[in-house]
Amino acid sequence: MEIVWQTPANPPEPQDYIFRNGRRLVRPYYFEFISHVKNRWAGKTVVDFFAHEFKGRPYDYYVSAVNCGRIRVDGEMVPVSYILKPSQKISHFLHRHEPPVLAFDVSVILQEPDVVTVCKPPTVPVHPCGQYRKSTVVGILQAEHGLAPLFPVHRLDRLVSGLLILARTSSKAEIFRQQIEGGMVKKQYIAKVIGIFPENEVVINVNIDYNAREGRSTAEEGNPCSDSPSKGKPASTKFTRIGTNGRHSLVLCEPITGRTHQIRVHLQYVGHPIANDSLYLSEQGVNRSSGGTTADRAAANSCLNSEADLVCPREYEEECREDFSIDPMCTHCPGLAPKGYGGDEEGLWLHCVRYSGPGWVYECPYPHWAILL
């Protein structure tokens, strides 16, 4: 089988994408993953290292990958008993399957000589990260609009939608960065929350402590009587109710600081979490959300769902074979998506609508869920 390896230098192209059942998928491709041996890895065999650090594939796979040269050390084939040394380069050539995202377009709102603004769809990351490379805002804009290079001025979480500003030069991105760090940029989001939000303006000044292991933040009130220092970072958000139907409220959210999940945590803190935010909903909120749908469905939990068309069951196997070449060593083939990813993830009801700074304003239309019936 002839293999064409892809590197970051290979730009995404329109034919890389496959649309199925409301999801955007990427035609699987070959890619070289590179890491360098850390001191704590040194002294292990190359197979034991992979089996311990990357448990998503079985031990036998790593044995086969080393034997056939898909795993190499310093560019050379090595035996399975090879002992790793500090700072050595490890290459893992594999058949990459990207997780699915919702099949929304990345619509261009405004295109200027040095700035592009777009409406980012939910579930799509801003730039390459983790298992995503081509199904990103930057990748899709390059493939479908020929826009490159692009430098994201700010970030939106993968599940969040709305206004995204991208500079077309590094110098313009630096100007935006200085303005943001200097506190000269005002950000506005809207959120659909549980219950009747207070009519008067609400300002929350509560520290936020982010737990990277759990992937979530918590509100942390300071205790003046405690000698133990607060682990959280200062965070401030202003909330203004736009409207309510008695069951849900639409709220304007203006973060003054920029902490991880700040808006989501502060809304939970005031007792009005985002209505489909499973990560921060109370038990009462889960029962009142939109059918119990979840916005933060982790890959590990998604495997509890039935394997939908995304993973290419037997009746679709021939169709998948037409979409891409099946790799006999790949632990995800013949599926389009990596195993364990279900097809029911939705976006969070949190949407960026406006950024403004010295002499400039950029806006994004409201999403469909912003209507209160």
In Å, how far are 70, 292, 353 from 257, measured between CA atoms? Answer: 45, 30, 17
* Active site members: 157
**Same-fold call for 29-96 versus 188-286+346-363:** no
Buried/exposed 331-352: b ≥16 CB within 10 Å, e otherwise:
ebbbbbbbebbbbebbbbbbbb
Give the Cα-Cα-Cα angle 361, 365, 366 (nearest 5 degrees). Answer: 125
The CATH homologous superfamily to which domain 29-96 belongs is RNA-binding S4 domain (3.10.290.10)
Which pLDDT value is given to residue 359? 96
188-286+346-363: CATH topology is Pseudouridine synthase (3.30.2350)
Which pLDDT value is given to residue 220? 84
262 with 217: CB under 8 angstroms?
yes
Query: How does DSSP classify residue 296?
Result: -
Which is nearest to 118 in space by CA: 369, 362, 368? Answer: 362
Tell which CATH architecture fits domain 100-184: 2-Layer Sandwich (3.30)
Residue 161 tokens, joined: 């939608």
Which pLDDT value is given to residue 221? 73
Alpha-carbon torsion (136, 137, 140, 143), positive or negative: negative
Other residues' Cβ atoms within 10 Å of the Cβ of residue 139 = 26
Which pLDDT value is given to residue 294? 43
Distance CA 138, CA 27 (A): 17
Which pLDDT value is given to residue 340? 82
Query: How does DSSP classify residue 169?
Result: S
Q: Where are the domains of the chain?
A: 29-96, 100-184, 188-286+346-363
Question: Does an H or E element contain 137, and which?
Answer: helix 137-145
Mean pLDDT by 10 residues, the chain (373 residues): 66 93 93 91 95 91 94 95 96 92 96 97 94 95 95 95 98 97 96 97 95 89 60 94 96 95 96 95 46 39 33 44 76 88 84 98 96 79
| C-alpha atoms less than 13 angstroms from C-alpha of 251 in its C-beta half-sphere | 34
Which pLDDT value is given to residue 103? 94
Q: Which residues, 6 or more positions from 219, have their beta carbon under 8 angstroms from its beta carbon?
A: 206, 207, 208, 232, 265, 266, 268, 269
Which pLDDT value is given to residue 3? 66
